[in-house]
Amino acid sequence: MPYILDRMPSITDTPPHILCKLRNDFVSYAERWIGTPYKWAGDDFEGLDCSGLVVECLKGIGWFEESEDHSANALYVMFRHKEVREPEKGCLVFWFKENNRAVHVAVCKDERLIIHAAGGGSLTETIDDAAEQNAYVKQRGLETVAQTRKQRFGQDYRIVDPFLKKM
């Protein structure tokens, strides 16, 4: 029987080998979504947005209930006490508007690569919209995405590690 956490993010008593397995499962599940169309507010294989991807991956490891849904900013608020300086596998990267509100989130595949639902926006509502805008779940270099988002939108990023044992 798998080790089930009572509720996320209370993981202080979780054995390190279980956290390592959850981290790996989280990233493996994110990889399965690559190529899925972007869909604003989507949360299934027909299409999803950036926070939908992360929420579905957290559901996939048993940390969220099926009915839960959170925006990028709500996810940041949930995990902000676990901010780290350097990315590693399973970390979340959040980009912010000037009002300090998280507007985009990605999963770190490792210290260099991220997986994120990108290329769309609030007007991306169908598979045809996604195809026209090249909006899909993609794997990209963290630094490349960071530079692009800084240049286009003036957004800076922060990294959190949801698997970090920190209250």
Which stretch of 31-35, 42-46, 116-120, 150-154 has the lowest confidence by average pLDDT?
Answer: 42-46
Peptide bond into 16 cis (omega under 30): no
**Rounded Cα–Cα distance for residues 135 and 119 (Å):** 4
C-beta atoms surrounding 141 within 10 Å: 12
pLDDT at 75 over 60: yes
Q: Where are the alpha helices (DSSP H) in 33-165?
A: 50-60, 72-79, 127-133, 142-153
Give the pLDDT confidence score for residue 50 in this predicted structure. 97
Whole-model pTM: value is 0.91
| Domain boundaries defined on the chain | 16-160
Give the pLDDT confidence score for residue 10 in this predicted structure. 59
pLDDT at 73 over 60: yes
CATH topology of domain 16-160: endopeptidase fold (from Nostoc punctiforme) (3.90.1720)
108's enclosing H/E stretch is strand 102-108
**Rounded Cα–Cα distance for residues 87 and 138 (Å):** 18
**Rounded Cα–Cα distance for residues 59 and 122 (Å):** 24
Residues in Cβ contact with 92 at an 8 Å cutoff, skipping those fewer than 6 apart: 54, 75, 79, 105, 106, 107, 108, 159, 160, 161, 162
